[in-house]
């Protein structure tokens, strides 16, 4: 009898938590839908903001990527939504809420089919087909802004920036900021590196007090006595950029110097002073009127430069120093020996100016001219932080629109048109995929147009019916109609300059479909214990699923 018993096979470590099958798939979909419901109300110009309080402070934002990052989501499947929001933010800068909502809505539409026993791979195949068709349709509907005159192109880019900013906290001043953003991106020229646009925040004043510096601006660094005696304005100065410490070095800890004669001590002290004076003298002989260093410039050097009508600033942030180097044509030096004229930068005007309660060093009229700084003003710190995030999105959008040169109608118009196109396509095919593509089309209709209406307090059913009617016109005249956020009806959003770059919509649909397909393809989750605490947690989670306890650790309680 004993010989006939099957041996017990132990495959996974004790305490390993496994869950599989349809129930696990449904559980993953539910987790993603819970995340989506958190950010749903932030969409659009009438979207609400979220206040997130953690150990780093308070953040108020309606930016999808920021919210997802701060939520610190631990569910493994829901983390995929965090990743696609980050991906959208890095690739195009805007549409982070859209991509999360789209992925969640695709999963919401797939859930009933999964519950009824449809194999997830059938859904995945149909969703990928629908996504490819949607991207092709967007490319057909996109309008190119290539070949326009400079002024026309600038005006079109301002419209794209204004559309992005309309859903942000600074939406009330979108015209003011959209001009600023387009000008900043235009200054960059071909080198459109984001690091060449600096954003500096100064609390106080109103949003309209914000301004753009066509050059480099940074906050006055820590300064020693003698700083006030230095000139605060120069015309066409030579600028020396250093990564050198200009102060007396203190001896190393436990340093030991052996002397045979007490009078030799003075020679050691003199040697230290001679080293620093030699460095300072070489800076002066180089002909520089402005000396900036990434490392400290001490009180002796500050007074030395003041006596010779030279401006200096130590401990300049590396990114600011690099931007000064790029703008002025200078090069950062790691030594003061053999400084040649070619490594010195220059600009038309340097001045130190008061901005609110802060002093700013401002370089304008730079020869390369491919850098800009936006100085943001506003009330609360949280407000300025959100304004910075908003401008980042707008800058990214303008950069993408300038490079890709194609735009589509916003306000849900493009989504309604793709939805109509996919429904029409679904009728032409046989089998289950007809239902799945139809559900994909319904998700597109729900995410943007319906959510825009719900967030603005409009009657979503009425507006969607009117939009369907417009988009169903055989003449194709209604293809550009979307939600009128201001008056609560429908409007030709393209004619009314509600635009977004085609790349934003293409990237959002592609990323959201990929994420939905990835989640649908997972049918088992295995959690390996890495430590005793993880084992305890795994056991607690397993118990919670069996209905025994809820919570973790000592705080578990009977349901």
Q: Which residues are catalytic?
A: 63, 96-97, 393
Q: Are 382 and 59 in contact (CB under 8 A)?
A: yes
> What is the enclosing helix (H) or strand (E) of 235?
strand 233-235
- What's the token pair of residue 107? 């999963």
- Residue 532, judged by CB atoms within 10 A of its CB (0-12, 13-18, 19+), counts as exposed
Pairing state of beta strands 233-235 and 349-355? Answer: antiparallel
> What is the enclosing helix (H) or strand (E) of 153?
helix 150-165
For 133, other C-beta atoms within 10 Å of its C-beta total: 18
Instruction: Give the per-residue SS3 of 65-111.
Output: HHHHHHHCCCCCCCHHHHHHHHHHHHHCCCCHHHHHHHHHHHHHHHH
Pairing state of beta strands 215-219 and 345-346? Answer: unpaired
Pairing state of beta strands 481-484 and 290-293? Answer: unpaired
Report the candidate in 376, 414, 383 with the shortest Cα–Cα distance to residue 493. 414
| Cα separation of the two ends of the chain | 43
Q: How far is CA 301 from CA 149, 227, 232, 270, in A?
A: 52, 10, 17, 16
């Amino acid at each position: 009898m004993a010989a006939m018993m099957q041996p017990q096979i132990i495959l996974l470590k004790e305490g390993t938590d496994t869950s599989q099958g349809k129930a696990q798939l449904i559980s993953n979909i539910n987790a993603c839908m819970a995340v989506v419901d958190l950010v749903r109300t932030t969409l659009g110009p009438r979207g609400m903001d979220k206040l997130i309080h953690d150990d780093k402070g308070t953040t108020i934002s309606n930016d999808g990527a920021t919210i997802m990052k701060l939520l610190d989501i631990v569910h493994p499947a829901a983390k995929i939504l965090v990743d696609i929001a980050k991906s959208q933010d890095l690739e195009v800068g805007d549409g982070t809420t859209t991509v999360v909502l789209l992925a969640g809505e695709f999963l919401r539409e797939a859930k009933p089919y999964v519950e009824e026993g449809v194999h997830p791979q059938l859904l995945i195949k149909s969703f990928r087909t629908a996504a490819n068709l949607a991207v092709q349709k967007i490319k057909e509907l996109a309008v190119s802004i290539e070949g326009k005159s400079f002024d026309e192109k600038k005006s079109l880019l301002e419209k794209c920036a204004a559309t992005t900013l309309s859903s942000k906290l600074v939406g009330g001043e979108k015209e003011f900021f959209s001009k600023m953003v387009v000008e900043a991106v235009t200054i960059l020229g071909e080198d459109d590196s984001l690091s060449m646009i600096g954003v500096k925040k100064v609390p106080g004043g109103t949003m309209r007090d914000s301004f753009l510096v066509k050059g480099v601006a940074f906050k006055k660094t820590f300064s020693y006595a003698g700083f006030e005696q230095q000139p605060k304005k120069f015309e066409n100065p030579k600028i020396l950029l250093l990564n050198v410490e200009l102060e007396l070095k203190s001896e190393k800890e436990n340093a030991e110097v052996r002397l045979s004669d007490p009078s030799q001590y003075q020679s050691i002290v003199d040697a230290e002073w001679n080293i620093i004076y030699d460095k300072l003298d070489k800076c002066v002989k180089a002909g520089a009127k402005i000396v900036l260093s990434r490392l400290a410039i001490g009180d002796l050097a500050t007074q030395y430069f003041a006596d010779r009508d030279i401006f200096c600033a130590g401990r300049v942030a590396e990114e600011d120093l690099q931007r000064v180097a790029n703008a002025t044509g200078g090069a950062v030096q790691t030594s003061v020996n053999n400084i040649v004229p070619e490594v010195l930068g220059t600009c038309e005007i340097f001045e130190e100016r008061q901005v609110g309660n802060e002093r700013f060093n401002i370089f304008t009229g730079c020869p390369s001219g491919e850098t800009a700084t936006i100085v943001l003003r506003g009330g609360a710190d949280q407000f300025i932080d959100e304004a910075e995030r908003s401008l980042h999105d707008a800058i990214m959008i303008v950069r993408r629109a300038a490079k890709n040169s194609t735009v589509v109608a916003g306000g849900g118009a493009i989504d309604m048109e793709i939805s109509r196109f996919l429904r029409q396509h679904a009728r032409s095919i046989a089998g289950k995929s007809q239902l799945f593509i139809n559900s994909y089309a319904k998700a597109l209709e729900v995410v943007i147009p319906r959510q825009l209406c719900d967030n603005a307090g409009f009657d979503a059913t009425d507006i969607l019916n009117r939009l369907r009617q417009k988009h169903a016109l055989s003449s194709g005249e209604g293809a550009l109609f979307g939600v009128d956020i201001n008056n609560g009806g429908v409007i030709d959003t393209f004619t009314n300059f509600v635009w977004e770059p085609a790349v934003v919509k293409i990237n959002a649909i592609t990323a959201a479909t990929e994420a939905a397909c990835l989640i649908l393809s997972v049918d088992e989750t295995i959690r390996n214990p890495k430590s005793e605490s993880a084992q305890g947690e795994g056991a607690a989670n397993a118990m919670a699923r069996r209905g025994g306890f809820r919570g973790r650790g000592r705080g578990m309680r009977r349901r």
